[in-house]
Amino acid sequence: MFTKMKKLFIPLMLVALGATACSSCAHKTPDPTAPTPVVDASVSATPAPAPAPSASVAPPVKTGLKVSQDNWELTLPSDAWQKIPDAPGDVAAFMNKEQHNLVILVTEKFAGKYEEYVLMAVRGLKGAGATIISAKQIELNGHKFVLVESSKSDVRVWTWVTLLNGQGYGLACGGPAADEAQHDLCFGIANTFNIK
């Protein structure tokens, strides 16, 4: 079971905490001739209405790009988010090069208990070299999650973890800025995350 756990969270944490690489582009001027981002056809994308706010997170994004797969959906705040094409099949990863943010959603079958899955997530973060700032249980859109805040170097990542009907979900959002805007962005995106 440990091999399966590592398979799930190592890609998530390496990509999420690898946002440091994107922080190096923070000192570059955005290229105005860059092509418009395109969302991979395997993930449906449509303009989304603003969802109702949840008491456990910041207000949702107002407009944006809805992305979904069979059993989940979420809204990214604008079409500046680009799908990372070489993420593994059970990972949906998006980057905003302008704001230097990443959003990653990992889903995988898991035969253990909710507590085991959460513990695996925390160990995955620590194993990737992150410092755990806090972990607390919350409710998000009607489901029980554990919200883990972590950091590594100048990268701050918030990860929402849950296990429902044998399916594990890990939604991570973060980037190099640790200011209030980064927090509000990630919590706004998390507020749009719905498990179908």
Taking only the tens place, the pLDDT of each residue in 144-156 is: 999 999 998 888 9
Phi, psi of 122 (to 5 degrees): -65, -45
Rounded distance, CA 97 to CA 124, Å?
25
158-189: per-residue pLDDT in tens? 999 999 999 999 999 998 866 778 899 999 99
Structural domains of the chain, ranges and CATH numbers in brackets = 2-22+79-177 (3.40.1000.10)
Question: So what's the pLDDT on residue 172?
Answer: 94
Ranges assigned E (strand) in the chain:
44-47, 65-69, 72-76, 81-83, 91-96, 101-109, 131-140, 143-152, 155-164, 167-175, 194-195
**Cα–Cα distance for residue pair 21/80, rounded to 1 Å:** 18
pLDDT for 79 equals: 86
pLDDT at 62 over 80: no
pLDDT at 24 over 70: no
Q: What is the pLDDT of residue 154?
A: 83
When mean pLDDT is compared across 47-56, 89-98, 159-168, the lowest value belongs to 47-56
Which of 2, 186, 161 lies closest to 77, judged by CA? Answer: 186
CA separation for the pair 186, 171 (Å, rounded):
10
More confident call, 31 vs 188 = 188
Q: Which residues contact 142 (CB under 8 A, 6 or more apart)?
A: none
Q: How far is CA 21 from the centre of its chain?
A: 17
Query: What phi and psi, each to the nearest 5 degrees, are found at residue 32?
Result: -70, -15
Cα four-point dihedral sign 124, 128, 131, 133 = negative
Please give the Cα distance from 66 to 74 (Å, whole number).
Answer: 6
Instruction: Assess whether pLDDT exceeds 50 at residue 98.
Output: yes
Higher per-residue confidence, 20 vs 149:
149
Mean pLDDT of the 43-53 span? 41
